[in-house]
Amino acid sequence: MIRLCLALTVALALAVPALSAASHEYKLGALDIVEPWACATSSTAQTGGGFLVITSKSTSPHRLISAKSPAADKVENHEMKMDRNVMRIANSTWAWTSRPAPPSS
């Protein structure tokens, strides 16, 4: 299984009930979108961050090519990776492709 973690603008995250106490999961075909959430920002903040994990149970690759929100002019994609015990956040292209899930035994 491939887990992709995307940082989105706070506007996209606000479109999801991320601050609720209940756990949220969404499905789109073979994709699971798990626990989207966002950090609160000040009223003067120009940007914010939202997070979610996308898991694919498919044997076919999937590609994330874009995202949009009715609450924002712009949605950006950033990739988070551990690098020598330090979390790094880097700009990423939209063209992420998941690898097929391994066959279940």
pLDDT in tens, 10-21: 344 445 444 444
Q: Which two tokens stand for residue 21?
A: 């106490």
Side-chain-side CA neighbours of 82 within 13 Å: the count stands at 2
In a domain, 103, yes or no: no
Strands 25-28 and 31-38, by their bridges, are: antiparallel
Q: Which two tokens stand for residue 36?
A: 């989207």
Nearest by Cα to 69 from 83, 88, 52: 52
Whether residue 84 has pLDDT greater than 70: yes
8-state DSSP, 57 = -
How many domains, the chain? 1
Whether residue 30 has pLDDT greater than 70: yes
Whether residue 57 has pLDDT greater than 90: no
Q: How confident is the model at residue 40 (pLDDT cuts 50, 70, 90)?
A: confident
Domain of 87, in residue numbers:
3-97
Task: Return the pLDDT at 79.
Answer: 76
For the chain, what is the mean pLDDT? 70
Whether residue 49 has pLDDT greater than 50: yes
In a domain, 19, yes or no: yes
